[in-house]
């Protein structure tokens, strides 16, 4: 079998998505999940862009073993030096140099002619190659570049030492047939192309990023650049899970090709990226959307019960999709909970299990049926804030159509209780203001969303919010059958995150 190299750029192009900023700890957590998922290359950031990005790439290069760790650089020495220095702790590293080659970019952005661009690209690749054996070059906006110039620059950078040449559809403009033929043309017109791997990098402005990437594979590309959940600049990048599952599901078309991805980890990584970026996955999203494996119509349900393959082309467990069946209830004990968590692929210490069990029991008192999604939500809410500074003790709200909403709240910090009371524009606002009073931290809410985790009137509500305080921005979640409590928990989780940074 021939390997399709999965180059994951969730932490670089994905993080460029408006509003998706991740801190160093969060990036490291995602990099760990990508390692377990089995991606070949992690593009960990754009090290020259900020001190924070440099440090994040460095910490990933220091602790993630297995995948190649890559840093992005413009075709200038200081960028290449930063990419080199930050990826140095990793035994397997890559420097990714890019420079635009389309007429529009050369004329308006770079104000340089073709010969000058070619000279700068070659110089940059030669310089990078002296520092690192694994060099990728991207002619940015390749799909809108003049073909003859593109062939020439690809040949020159390969001669200069590039080991991978990436052909970006930077603005998501290409159509599948056209993009596939571009890859075939590069294979046929660049004399030294067999000395490098052809890579593709597609954006989703016309909703074609995955289709274009797959067409490129059919025409000879052997590396695909993609992101978890398809997050990225503007409409996003090609979605990793869709590409991987297309290759796996349509072996008749992608004959002799495979990726090294452990597909059973896909759903978990998708949840993690959604949780840390605050980007909710839409229910109808292919592979990882909440409805991706749900059959609503009677005819479909009947068909699936008779023979699964009538309406299902992928088994949910192949992507680690968490079922929606009723799994536990009020009378389920700690052992049953622990067994179910193991089945879902989680391992916890006794202390962590105690915490989850306490939340589980409290939930089971309010809600008859506990679904897998409910359990995962509790885990995400409870376990990741293992050593919180502030914990919720209790709160009372008074709200209605004829009263000013007020909240009285009590929080615990190092075994001491602190309380405050506040009014607000609504009950949630009153609670947040009361928490600000208790903690002495003034939080600025930048985003607030609420979702139902499972089905039914008693469904667990999950609040996802983005909070700015002490000059830091974090995303946090909180869950409860009571949406005010979910909001309070999310707000406290966010403040704890801020305290821990």
User: Residues interacting with ligand KIV, by CB under 6 A?
Assistant: 13, 98, 138, 140, 166, 168, 170, 201, 203
Quickly tell me which residue has 């299902």 as its tokens. Answer: 312
Residue 97 or 428 having the CB closest to Zn ion: 97
- Residue 225 interacting with Zn ion (CB under 5 A): no
Residue nearest to Zn ion (CB): 13
Residue 227 or 481 having the CB closest to ligand KIV: 227
Nearest to 482 by CA among 446, 447, 452: 452
Kind of pairing, strands 223-226 and 326-328? unpaired
Residue 213 interacting entry, from ligand KIV, Zn ion, none, C-beta within 5 to 8 Å by type: none
Within 10 A of 189 (CB to CB), how many other CB atoms are there? Answer: 15
3-state secondary structure of 98: strand
d(CA 397, CA 407): 4
Least distance from C-beta 102 to ligand KIV, angstroms? 10
Q: Which residues pair with 165 in a beta bridge?
A: 137, 198
Residue 170 or 496 having the CB closest to ligand KIV: 170
Least distance from C-beta 179 to ligand KIV, angstroms? 13
Residue 204 interacting entry, from Zn ion, ligand KIV, none, C-beta within 5 to 8 Å by type: none
Residue 13 or 381 having the CB closest to ligand KIV: 13
H-type alpha helices, 208-265? 209-218, 240-249
Identify the helix (H) or strand (E) that includes residue 91: none
Structure tokens belonging to residue 404: 């000013």
H-type alpha helices, 254-321? 266-277, 298-306
φ/ψ bin of 470: left (φ > 0), alpha (ψ from -120 to 50), beta (otherwise): left
Which range binds Zn ion by CB under 5 A, 13-21, 124-132, 250-258, 303-311? 13-21
Residue 13 or 136 having the CB closest to Zn ion: 13
Structure tokens belonging to residue 300: 């479909």
Residue 98 interacting entry, from Zn ion, ligand KIV, none, C-beta within 5 to 8 Å by type: ligand KIV
Residue 180 interacting entry, from Zn ion, ligand KIV, none, C-beta within 5 to 8 Å by type: none
Residue 489 interacting entry, from ligand KIV, Zn ion, none, C-beta within 5 to 8 Å by type: none
Least distance from C-beta 25 to ligand KIV, angstroms? 25
Residue 238 or 411 having the CB closest to Zn ion: 238
Residue 168 or 180 having the CB closest to ligand KIV: 168
Structure tokens belonging to residue 323: 């079922």
d(CA 222, CA 5): 6
Residue 13 or 155 having the CB closest to Zn ion: 13
Least distance from C-beta 10 to Zn ion, angstroms? 12
Least distance from C-beta 231 to Zn ion, angstroms? 11
- Residue 136 interacting with Zn ion (CB under 5 A): no
Least distance from C-beta 12 to Zn ion, angstroms? 8
Least distance from C-beta 497 to ligand KIV, angstroms? 29
φ/ψ bin of 454: left (φ > 0), alpha (ψ from -120 to 50), beta (otherwise): beta
d(CA 262, CA 73): 30
- Residue 13 interacting with Zn ion (CB under 5 A): yes
Structure tokens belonging to residue 78: 């200081």
Least distance from C-beta 127 to ligand KIV, angstroms? 18
Angle between helices 24-37 and 266-277 (to 10 degrees): 170
* Burial (CB count within 10 angstroms: exposed 0-12, middle 13-18, buried 19+), residue 32: middle
Least distance from C-beta 173 to ligand KIV, angstroms? 11
Residue 86 or 170 having the CB closest to ligand KIV: 170
Q: Which residues bind Zn ion (CB under 5 A)?
A: 13
């Amino acid at each position: 079998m021939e390997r399709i190299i999965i180059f994951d750029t969730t932490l670089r192009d994905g993080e460029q998505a408006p509003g998706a900023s991740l801190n160093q700890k969060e990036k490291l957590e995602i990099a760990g999940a990508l390692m377990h998922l089995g991606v070949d290359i992690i593009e960990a950031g754009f090290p020259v862009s900020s001190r924070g990005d440099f440090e994040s790439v460095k910490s990933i290069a220091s602790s993630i073993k297995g995948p190649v760790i890559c840093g992005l650089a413009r075709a200038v020495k200081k960028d290449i030096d930063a990419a080199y220095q930050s990826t140095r702790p990793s035994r397997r590293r890559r420097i990714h140099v890019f420079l635009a080659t389309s007429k529009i970019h050369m004329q308006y952005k770079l104000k340089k002619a073709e010969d000058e661009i070619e000279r700068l690209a070659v110089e940059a690749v030669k310089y990078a190659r002296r520092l690192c054996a694994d060099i990728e070059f991207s002619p940015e906006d390749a799909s809108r570049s003049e073909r003859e110039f593109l062939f020439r620059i690809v040949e020159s950078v390969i001669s200069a030492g590039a080991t991978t040449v990436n052909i970006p559809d930077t603005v998501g403009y290409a159509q599948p047939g056209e993009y596939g033929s571009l890859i075939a043309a590069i294979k046929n017109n660049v004399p030294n192309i067999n000395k490098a791997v052809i890579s593709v990098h597609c954006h989703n402005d016309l909703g074609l990023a995955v289709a274009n990437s797959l067409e490129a594979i059919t025409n000879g590309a052997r590396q695909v650049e993609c992101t978890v959940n398809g997050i990225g600049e503007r409409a996003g990048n090609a979605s990793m899970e869709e590409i991987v599952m297309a290759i796996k599901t349509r072996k008749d078309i992608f004959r002799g090709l495979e990726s090294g991805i452990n597909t059973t980890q896909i759903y978990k990584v998708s949840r993690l990226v959604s949780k840390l970026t605050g980007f909710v996955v839409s229910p109808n999203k292919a592979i990882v959307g909440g409805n991706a494996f749900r059959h609503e119509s009677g005819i479909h349900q009947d068909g699936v019960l008779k023979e699964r393959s009538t309406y299902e082309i992928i088994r949910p467990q192949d992507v680690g999709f968490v079922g929606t069946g009723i799994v536990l209830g009020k009378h389920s004990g700690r052992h049953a909970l622990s067994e179910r968590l193991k089945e879902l692929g989680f391992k916890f210490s006794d202390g962590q299990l105690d915490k989850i069990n306490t939340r589980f029991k409290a939930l089971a008192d309010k809600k008859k049926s506990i679904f897998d999604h409910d359990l995962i939500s509790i885990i995400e809410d409870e376990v990741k804030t293992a050593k919180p500074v502030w914990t919720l003790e209790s709160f009372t709200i008074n709200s209605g159509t004829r009263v000013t909403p007020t909240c009285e709240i009590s929080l615990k910090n190092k075994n001491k209780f602190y309380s405050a009371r506040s009014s607000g524009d609504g009950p949630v606002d009153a609670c947040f203001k009361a928490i600000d009073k208790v903690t002495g931290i003034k939080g600025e809410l930048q985003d607030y969303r609420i979702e139902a985790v499972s089905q039914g009137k008693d469904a667990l509500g999950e609040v996802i919010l983005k909070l700015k305080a002490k000059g830091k921005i974090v995303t946090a979640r909180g869950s409860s059958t009571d949406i005010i409590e979910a909001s309070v928990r999310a707000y406290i989780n966010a403040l704890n995150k801020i305290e821990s940074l």
